[in-house]
Amino acid sequence: MNVKSQTASIDTTDTNSSGEGWGSFVWFMVKLVAAVLLFRILVFSPFSIPSESMLPRLMNGDYLLAAKWSYGFSGNSLPFDVGLPEGRIFASEPERGDLVIFKHPIDGSDYIKRVVALPGDSISVIGGQIVLNGELVPREEIANFEIPVSRNTTCSWGADAEVDETGKELCSYRRLRETLPGGREIEVLDFGLTQGDNFKPVTVPAGHMFVMGDNRDNSRDSRFEAMSGDAVGIVPQDNLVGEAAVIIWSTDGGAEWLKPWTWFSSARWDRIGTQL
């Protein structure tokens, strides 16, 4: 009888221990999910670059982190739509030259562009050159931008196809350096005169921002009327998601799942860790 009693006692203890173990695991997972969610909402969130509209600074195949605290927090900071009221808390305004991620004003998809003009600024474009508050934004031509041809990069109509000394195919683009008010310098690409190179003066409304792609002739930005899946128009600052901070991975698109060595050979190692 004593042995049976002790055995029963031991079995009960094991069952409770097992229950406590599962409870601890579930609680750990809840805390982990909450920590990841808070990190994405308040600290950093990952984004990928799917096009060449931000060349030469960002390439198709770049993966970056966006700082979520730079401009305040809103429903756009969440990785899903929970129907929060419009507006931002702890809101702050971007600066000219910032690389910003925002929600498209119509379809809500993520876009990345560079802030060029702020509320109250008058902006126009003449022959491809920005005119900000009545003054031409200075720009100078610098060495061409060259990028290797890959699955993620093809030569657009504005590029010269070249071959380097090793026989590798390159796309070569005309590159200029612009100096925004305040002295911030940015590099842009120019294919020649296109539809967006002449834009009549507009004044940026309160609470908005005028954004452009660095690849000026391959970007549907604030120079064009907002349309779903297309141009973004003049963007409300309440649509801000974050500020591009650092490139955490970059690939030329040559990786194949069944060939693990290509995961490394396709990486653009010189871009990983680049601060934006």
Instruction: Report whether 213 contacts 113 (CB < 8 A).
Output: yes
- Cβ burial of 79 (10 Å; 0-12, 13-18, 19+) is exposed
87-109 as b/e: b if 16+ CB within 10 A: ebeeeeebebbbbbbbbbbeeee
Instruction: Report whether 32 contacts 25 (CB < 8 A).
Output: no
Instruction: Report whether 85 contacts 75 (CB < 8 A).
Output: yes
SS percent in the chain: helix, strand, coil, step 5: 20, 35, 45
- Residues with catalytic roles: 53, 113
